[in-house]
Structure 1
Amino acid sequence: MIYGMDVSFLDEIEHGGGRYYDEAGRERDLLELLKEKGGNAVRLRIWNDPAGGFCNLERTVPIAKRIKALGMAFLLDFHYSDKWADPANQWKPAAWEALSGAELEQAVYDYTAEVLAALAEAGALPDMVQVGNEVTPGMLWDNARVGVDEFDTDENWATFANLVKRGIEAVRAASPDIRIMIHIDRGGDNASSRKFFDRFEQLGVEFDVIGQSFYPWWHGTLGDLRDNLNDLAVRYGKPINVVETAYPWTLEEPEGYRWVMNGKEELLPLPEYPPSPQGQQRYLEDLIAIVREVPNGLGEGFYYWEPAWIPSQPTWSVGHPNNWANLTMFDFEGKVLSSFAALSGQPAK
């Protein structure tokens, strides 16, 4: 089973002097510590030309080499943007702003191929690639925007599918061994998940793995997640990863911080998991059990999103403060939390 961690902020944290510590207070390399705690896979996002340079190709290659040197699986997450690509933002890279049609498709192919060629040269090809991040509303807006109002047209869906196909084509050309994931953000929403993947099937998008985001304050209960994953496994017969998830270990907000989820009312769907290291561990234990029990062995694993984004500096290249440090698996000073025991099957105390 995949016990994955998305640590895309690692480069920026290390560059800014952030440090990590084990239970005994000893300074540790983050990736080595994650592996020691049971992690076996790492996910990195890649942006085309981001502000500050972090998460671009040049800075991704050294982190990828460290992942591979530790024998961990590597998932590369193409956003096809200069910044966040998510349900509210799927904006084109600035360099592609004037492109459309075949030119935009070629840009997707060429960029994907360029990234994978650089990683191959470094001996750090990913084991799996996401062609797009949380692409429920499409990608490369507005050309391939779908799902809402005037954008939800057959023409836009066809444009979207063709762009994804070109990305997939570039991955297959780089290595037939790299698996392709399509990632949406509907972990607790079966109707929307079916609508999306039915459409991709109809449009002939050929991929290997279904990825879902699941954050309980946005996406429902663990029961909703279970029902959705079970149905998708039977309906499509593909391996499934919960490729983004998290849960708070505290609701404390130090002065100057405002968390992305910051009120107890947002935890009401999951009152059995208090916002503590123990509650975080129990949440992960139950999520892991749900993934393990997906029919036909198709529950492949999960990735915790940014478990190590500690508040080690006041400003970040993404242009907003750290709003995630209560959802990490490290305390505010970078010391590992006991919730990692969920990866080794040790019960929460």
Structure 2
Amino acid sequence: MTDNQRTEPLGIRRRSLLLGGAAGAGALALGVGPLSTPAEAAGFVKGADVSWLPQMEAQGYYWNNSAGAKQDLFTILKGYGITAISLRTWVNPSSDPANGHCGIEETAQLAQRAKNAGMDVLIGFHFGDTWNSVGVQNPPAAWASMAYSQMLDAMYDYVYHSCNVIKYYGVTPAWVKIGNETNSGVCRPVGSVSRPAQMTGLLNAAYDMSKQVFPNTPVLVHLAQPQKLDSIQNFLNAYQDNGGKWDITGLSSYAQGGNVAGVLTNMQTIQSSYGKPVMQVEYGGPVGKPTQVRTALREFIAGLKGFGGLGTFFWEPEGYPSFNAYNSSAWDESTHRPTAAMDGFLDA
């Protein structure tokens, strides 16, 4: 079945929403049966983003466990107490192994694989064709010349369609993340934080369509650099004041050493100020400093648990430096074994 065949016409989608259509409507349209609801989180969530996994495997990369035996990556991660997998998805990505792929079909297939391994899944929308981050929020190329009203329709259709593809593969995400590090807005300039009503409209469209397909799945907004509390408050105040909808505040922090304590204090402030639980959706550190990364991971887990934070995700721990330009990893490429950084999940 092609992606186009999975897309429900815009009028049908909106009519279903207005009539309070059940999430099962998408499943019926796709000819699949009822799907299970997300697993209830049993305490603190320990997770990892492994979106590079299929591209790395295709290039012959592999991973050993701590004993030096080659093993499926999900099996190794579960041995460290990791129960959840975070996966990003882009709209029309290139075929570049490190900076492309992650289209919704590939993402759904990897989500299915994670589910079959007994893992919960977080689906993260970037709303771009490649990386969006705290300093970059470029819309997909196909949306770039759209007016706000057109982009709003595109957002409705894209998220609704994408969630139904995930459902088609038999996966009900435990979480959906709308946007990636959206401190400055989404799909700029149309959805810039300086245009808060439009920013909120776009993100609320994503929220609504996620809930249309997965009504019991919490939806996160995602912000970066909690050490800069003003930046996060600027976004959340604008979003809240314009009727923004979200269930969990996702935060990125790669803080190390003496910076961890201040970041945790700000995370607690964010949680108490807005009445939404906090989840650290990105963490990592230099592959060459594994004990430092382990220590900070322990501190984040203990600190988040202390004020009721929901969990933490290590970003691409399997990402060998020869594959990508990033230095954040938790596997030694010379031995293919996990570094001491991963022990932070066990020791915490």
- For 2:217 and 2:77, locate their aligned partners in 1 and report how far apart those are by CA, in whole Å: 23
Aligned partner of 1:337 in structure 2 is 339
1:1-349 paired onto structure 2 within 5 Å = 1-52=44-95, 54-146=101-193, 152=194, 156-216=195-255, 221-250=259-288, 275=289, 277-294=290-307, 297=308, 299-313=309-323, 322-325=324-327, 327-333=328-334, 334-345=336-347
| Residues 16 and 312 in structure 1, CA contact (< 8 A), matched pair in contact too | no
- For 2:272 and 2:189, locate their aligned partners in 1 and report how far apart those are by CA, in whole Å: 33
The alignment of Structure 1 onto Structure 2 pairs a total of residues equal to 300
- How far is the alpha carbon of 1:207 from its aligned partner? 0.8
- For 2:346 and 2:200, locate their aligned partners in 1 and report how far apart those are by CA, in whole Å: 39
- For 2:118 and 2:109, locate their aligned partners in 1 and report how far apart those are by CA, in whole Å: 15
AA aligned to 1:235 is: S
| Residues 189 and 224 in structure 1, CA contact (< 8 A), matched pair in contact too | no
- For 2:139 and 2:232, locate their aligned partners in 1 and report how far apart those are by CA, in whole Å: 24
TM-score by length of 2: 0.82
AA aligned to 2:293 is: Q
- How far is the alpha carbon of 1:195 from its aligned partner? 2.3
Identity, in percent, stands at 28
RMSD between superposed Cα atoms in Å:
1.7
- For 1:99 and 1:125, locate their aligned partners in 2 and report how far apart those are by CA, in whole Å: 31
TM-superposition CA deviations, 1:110-157 (whole Å, max 9, x none): 1111111111111112111111000001111221123xxxxx3xxx11
- How far is the alpha carbon of 1:238 from its aligned partner? 1.2
AA aligned to 2:78 is: K
TM-superposition CA deviations, 1:39-85 (whole Å, max 9, x none): 11110000011110610012112210111112211111100110111
- For 2:147 and 2:78, locate their aligned partners in 1 and report how far apart those are by CA, in whole Å: 43
Structure 1 residues not aligned, in runs of 5+: 147-151, 251-274, 314-321
Structure 1 residue ranges (4+ consecutive) displaced by more than 4 angstroms after TM superposition: none
- For 2:303 and 2:228, locate their aligned partners in 1 and report how far apart those are by CA, in whole Å: 15
Q: Equivalent residue of 2:115, what SS?
A: helix
| Residues 90 and 139 in structure 1, CA contact (< 8 A), matched pair in contact too | yes
- How far is the alpha carbon of 1:324 from its aligned partner? 2.1
- For 1:301 and 1:209, locate their aligned partners in 2 and report how far apart those are by CA, in whole Å: 11
| Residues 185 and 235 in structure 2, CA contact (< 8 A), matched pair in contact too | no
- For 1:323 and 1:36, locate their aligned partners in 2 and report how far apart those are by CA, in whole Å: 28
